[in-house]
Amino acid sequence: MVGLSIVRRQTLPPWAEILLPVAAIFATLIIGALPIVLAGGNLFKAYSSLVYGALGTRFNLLETLVKASPLILTGLAVSFAFRARFWNIGAEGQLFAGAIAATAVGVYGTALPSWLVIPACIVSGFIAGGLWAVLPAFLKTKLKVDDVVTTLLLNYVMIHVMGFLLYGPMQAAGSSWPRSEPIMDAAHYPILLPRSRLHLGLVIAIVMVLAIWFINARTVFGYRSKCVGVNINAAHFSGVNTDMTILKTALISGGLAGLAGVGEVCAIHYHLLMDISPGYGYTGIVIAMLGNLHPVGVALSAFFFSCISIGSQTMSRMAGIPVYIEGVI
């Protein structure tokens, strides 16, 4: 009953806001234990190998960080939009849009001076992702079309756009696979540490975390976006241009997802292919929720997700548990 009165209280004390997601994680791990046990695995061994697999060696830790970069970005994208009640569940499509733009620059931008190639990839990826999110935001503000539906549908539209490009104008010469020409070397993200895949993308992700934090806490735009999310009528009444606020929020949100796509092209695959993302955009939704829509929370929960994803590969190898159980967790 004491618990009940805590639930009823209208504001959670700060410790609870931090503790709740942590509790959620533990609950996940405990529930996740069930199928492991059912599959005949040793639970302790399974989880210790999960941790080992994610963090235990230099290589594993760095791989976890590599995986975390796109997840941080898509998580941020979703959380920033949700905060303003722009229900952007189209981060996946925006990620593709960013990847296409980066590939276009990386493959066809040979006329650019080489120092400009990476910035051009980043900027064009951000803008492409952003515009792909502005479209549903525009439909929402001008025509009152539901944003959940449009953002989701645009993911499928983007998959078809990408298919058209990869089987058509952007297809690598002589290839029968849907893949583009490789991007030029100047477009490759620099590697941060020797003997690893840790790349510029992580730095970009962390800078974005700080930038969004700053926007939320210290700027007029961040304040307005929060007000629009909480009560759009009151914001409108108070003279806030709510349509513009939603459009800008969408631009930034989509841009962040676009950056995730840029990173996948310029640091992991070095060309565009159909399965450039194993659902980073959708995972971003869960990450944003678990991170309580706070940028730092998002970064932590993205890291957690990438631990599970990388660690589970080791877990399945060492504890003899099928990989699909990772998907369950």
Choices 10-18, 104-112, 176-184, 287-295; region in contact with other proteins by CB under 8 A: 10-18
Q: Which of residues 174-233 bind other proteins (CB under 8 A)?
A: 217-224, 226-227, 230-231, 233
Residue closer to other proteins by CB (options 213, 221) is: 221
Q: Which is nearer to other proteins, 180 or 216 (CB)?
A: 216
DSSP secondary-structure letter at 314? H
Residue of the chain from 10, 44, 115, 275 that contacts other proteins (CB under 8 A): 10
Cβ atoms of residues 169 and 178 within 8 Å:
no
- At closest approach, how far in Å is the CB of 262 from other proteins? 26
Measure the CA–CA gap between 200 and 312, rounded to whole angstroms: 25
Output 177 or 237, the one with its CB closest to other proteins.
237
Nearer to other proteins, 4 or 173 (CB): 4
Q: For residues 227 and 58, what is the distance between their CA atoms, to the nearest angstrom?
A: 44
CA distance 117 to 232: 41
If we measure between CA atoms, which residue out of 188, 204, 217, 231 comes closest to residue 72?
204
Q: In this complex, which beta carbon is closest to other proteins, that of residue 209 or of residue 227?
A: 227
Q: How many residues bind other proteins (CB under 8 A)?
A: 29
Q: Which of 263, 270, 280, 276 is nearest to 162 (CA)?
A: 276
Binding segment for other proteins among 15-23, 89-97, 185-193, 235-243 (CB under 8 A)? Answer: 235-243
Buried b (16+ CB within 10 A) or exposed e, 110-143: eebeeeebbebbbbbbbbbbbbbbbbbbbbbbee
Q: Where does this chain bind other proteins (CB under 8 A)?
A: 1, 4-5, 8-11, 13, 217-224, 226-227, 230-231, 233-241
